[in-house]
């Protein structure tokens, strides 16, 4: 078994926000490899998040972010299960960071299902035309369109986007980390982004 020092546990805790025992367990399970242990904790956070997904969320906050110069503004509603969690720094920081992320990335919606069907159909038609023009075989079209649509969701759906403050994770990953940390189900309910002149 790899030798796991208190310094390593502390470093992993600071990196992931997970509890001390969880960090120690992750390092032990991953042979003291910091990157593998980080992934291990992220997967565990996802499992925790899925377990909690059925619980009611009637508390939360509305957070706002105004970009420097007052040209872009975002309002976001983030829900959780209890008022206690809604008042924690982790929860408030998450809402603030996601509002800032929305100001920077201008997503179409929270999840792929939020993108209007006509927009998706238009994108598919463009991808098909591009593939045909570049001489791709007809039988590969569906796969090519699917791949390009997946990239479109990564670019324009909040949960699929790479988090601007840490491109190694998506907003969904970030949400799952906060769920694992707070022990409650959390959801981004809705947002509105305003930009002067648009």
Q: How confident is the prediction for the chain on average, in pLDDT?
A: 85
pLDDT at 134: 82
Residue carrying the six token digits 């720094």? 89
- For every residue of 73-141, DSSP letters joined together read EEEEEEEES-HHHHTSHHHHHHHHHHHHHHHHH--SBSSGGGS-HHHHHHHHHHHHHHHHHTT--GGGH
Give the mean model confidence (pLDDT) for residues 107-121. 88
Spatial CA neighbour of 29 closest among 41, 19, 20: 41
Give 187's strand partners: 79
Spatial CA neighbour of 128 closest among 115, 144, 147, 117: 144
Domain extents in the chain = 6-52, 59-110+157-195, 116-155
Distance between CA atoms of residues 77 and 60, nearest Å: 7
pLDDT tens digits, one per residue of 173-188:
999 899 888 888 899 9
CATH architecture label of 116-155: Orthogonal Bundle (1.10)
Structural tokens at position 69: 């110069």
Helix (H, G, I), strand (E, B) or coil at 164: coil
- Alpha-carbon torsion, ordered 50, 64, 192, 177, to 10 deg: -20
pLDDT at 157: 93
Helix (H, G, I), strand (E, B) or coil at 54: coil
Q: In what helix (H) or strand (E) does residue 52 lie, and over which residues does it extend?
A: helix 34-52
pLDDT at 50: 54
Helix (H, G, I), strand (E, B) or coil at 151: helix
Check whether 119 has a pLDDT greater than 60.
Answer: yes
What CATH superfamily is the domain 6-52?
Ubiquitin-associated (UBA) domain (1.10.8.10)
pLDDT tens digits, one per residue of 31-62:
888 888 877 777 766 545 555 555 566 789 99
59-110+157-195 folds as Tetrahydropterin Synthase; Chain A (3.30.479)
Alpha-carbon torsion 79, 85, 86, 91, what sign? negative
Distance between CA atoms of residues 124 and 145, nearest Å: 6
- Kind of pairing, strands 72-80 and 186-195? antiparallel
Give the mean model confidence (pLDDT) for residues 102-119. 90
pLDDT tens digits, one per residue of 82-96:
889 999 999 999 999
pLDDT tens digits, one per residue of 152-168:
989 989 999 999 999 99
Please give the residue that has the higher pLDDT: either 162 or 3.
Answer: 162
How far, in whole angstroms, is CA 181 from its chain's centroid?
15
* pTM to 2 decimal places: 0.68
Give the mean model confidence (pLDDT) for residues 108-135. 87
């Amino acid at each position: 078994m790899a030798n796991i020092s208190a310094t390593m546990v502390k470093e992993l805790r600071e990196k992931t926000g997970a509890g001390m025992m969880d960090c120690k367990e992750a390092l032990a399970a991953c042979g003291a490899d910091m990157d593998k242990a980080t992934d291990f904790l992220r997967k565990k956070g996802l499992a925790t998040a899925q377990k909690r997904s059925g619980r009611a969320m009637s508390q939360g906050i509305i957070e706002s972010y105004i970009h420097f110069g007052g040209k872009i503004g975002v309002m976001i509603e983030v829900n959780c299960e209890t008022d206690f969690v809604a008042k924690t720094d982790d929860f408030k920081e998450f809402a603030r960071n996601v509002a800032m992320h929305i100001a920077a990335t201008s997503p179409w919606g929270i999840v792929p299902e939020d993108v209007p069907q006509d927009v998706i159909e238009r994108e598919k038609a463009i991808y098909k035309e591009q593939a045909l023009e570049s001489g791709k075989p007809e039988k590969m079209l569906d796969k090519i369109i699917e791949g390009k649509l997946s990239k479109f969701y990564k670019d324009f759906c909040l949960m699929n986007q790479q988090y601007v403050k840490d491109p190694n994770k998506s907003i969904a990953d970030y949400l799952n980390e906060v769920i694992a940390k707070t022990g409650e189900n959390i959801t981004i309910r809705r947002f509105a982004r305003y930009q002067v002149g648009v």
